[in-house]
Amino acid sequence: MYNRLILSAFFSVCAILAHAATRQVNPSAGLQQVLDKALPGDTIRIHPGNYRQSNIIVRKQLVIIGEGYPVFDGENKNEVFIIIADGVVLQGLQIQHTGRSSLVDMAGIKLQNVKNVRVTHCKLLNTTYGVYLQNSKRCIVSNNLIQASAKEELQSGNGVHAWKCEQLLISSNRMSGHRDGIYFEFVTRSAIIGNTSSGNIRYGLHFMFSHNDTYEYNTFQNNGAGVAVMYTRGVTMYKNTFYHNWGDASYGILLKDISDSKIDHNTFHTNTVGIYMEGSSRIHVTGNTFSNNGWAMRIQASCDGNLFEKNNFSGNSFDVATNGTMMLNTFRENYWDKYDGYDLDRDGTGDVPYYPVSVYSVITERIPVAMILYRSFLTRIMDQVENIMPSITPDQLKDIRPRIKKWQL
């Protein structure tokens, strides 16, 4: 689907470029006047330099290319580029210092009610919102550096912000220092591929009411609370890395009211919680690696119909925690480094089930301050007694065929 999206945008641009002219712009010229005089399909080449120009409106299908990253500065007062025409290409610009307003979401580049627009190889520095897409379709945002230094959540915006869009491709961008690196709300049939989102105040990626989307091969690290996917169905999460999202309320992924989705071949390393699930159903979690997390997974009792299979769990303080005694999810053929069972028939799976919820994880769910005693001699005694005479761990939460050796993922 995404290759077709790229080709469609490419050929739609090429068709108009057949009879296009090229216009040159230097710092002494007013870019807005050049854009207004240009004909649809023209190419605008912007020479290097500092352009103290903002609130630039692109009303025609144009190709705008910066040479040597010409600088457009909003002077902490204005937006910079506002695109309201279909088929625009914006490439190779440095856009910086937008204003802030409680009434207007000010962006370095804003796309409003457009189709087939491409924003690529730009630098967006210290903008409130980097690239802002509103009610737009089949747009591509790729290979951009989107960097800010926000300190407070309420005074900042998002690196890539998309509202009520479809068939977007957000690829190979680097985002940091915003409220959320990428924010999707009411965005469908879109893909987020190969991005790095780090050091954001809240989430590296934030989904709200956005169905049938895919995000894959991304890295989310050192974000305030990790990644959040909420009130959404049909999401595929494939081969992403969730690294060092660490803090009192941090997660690799927070899933809230999610259904009919896949979490496949991702890496969760050194997060407070790898996956936190609440009110989520029919999610297939397979082929993932959970290593050196505080909790690999925290699955609330409100979750049901989820399948966890062929994952690797190693070096986590707690593999699984839950706040209920009934378990309506299935675990099978996972590798657990804490499993000490045996495999007499040598079929690669343990002959006795593994119960991944430790007694101390149950206690800390009920009494969080008990974490202060974790790794004490008392906790080891409690775990050994619980293994012999189970009493408070949920006996329905078990892997009936635990893997003896790690999966080669």
Looking at every residue in the chain, the average pLDDT score rounds to 89
Contact 60, 39 (CB under 8 A): yes
Backbone angles phi and psi of 398, in degrees to 5 = -150, 155
What's the chain's Rg over C-alpha atoms? 25
What is the residue extent of each domain of the chain?
1-224, 236-357+394-409
Measured between alpha carbons, how far is 308 from 227 in angstroms, rounded to an integer?
20
In sequence order, what E strands does 315-363 have?
Answer: 318-321, 328-332, 335-336
Given the candidates 3.10.180.10, 3.40.190.80, 2.160.20.10, 3.30.465.10, the CATH classification of the domain at 1-224 is 2.160.20.10
Which DSSP state fits 39?
Answer: P
- Residue 171 has a pLDDT of 98
pLDDT at residue 1 above 80? no
Contacts of residue 11, defined as CB under 8 A and 6 or more positions apart, other chains included, come to none
Q: Using one digit for the tens of pLDDT, what is the confidence trace for 346-400?
A: 898 999 998 888 655 555 555 555 455 455 555 555 555 445 445 445 567 889 9
Buried b (16+ CB within 10 A) or exposed e, 241-259: bbbbbbeeebbbbbbbebb
Cβ neighbours for 341, distance < 8 A, ≥ 6 positions apart: 350, 351, 352, 354, 402
Instruction: Give the Cα separation of 304 and 330 in Å (integer).
Output: 9
pLDDT at 280: 96
- The full DSSP string for 304-318 is EEEEEES-EEES-SE
Do residues 208 and 231 lie in contact, with contact meaning Cβ atoms separated by under 8 Å? yes
Mean pLDDT of 231-250: 94
201: confidence class by pLDDT, cuts 50, 70, 90: very high
Q: Are 336 and 354 in contact (CB under 8 A)?
A: yes
The pLDDT, as a whole number, for residue 391 is 46
Mean pLDDT of 215-225: 96
- pLDDT at site 389: 46
Least confident of 31-40, 76-85, 199-208, 345-354: 345-354
- Tens digits of per-residue pLDDT, 114-173? 999 999 999 999 999 999 999 999 999 999 999 998 878 777 899 999 999 999 999 999
Q: Is the distance from CB of 90 to CB of 83 less than 8 angstroms? A: yes
Q: Percentage of the chain with pLDDT > 70?
A: 86
Look at residues 279, 388, 368 and name the one whose alpha carbon lies nearest to residue 318.
368
pLDDT at 101 over 60: yes
What is the pLDDT, as a whole number, of residue 104? 87
pLDDT of residue 385: 47
Give per-residue pLDDT as tens, 8-37. 555 554 554 456 799 999 998 899 999 999
Instruction: State pLDDT tens for residues 290-329.
Output: 999 999 999 998 999 999 999 999 999 899 988 876 678 9
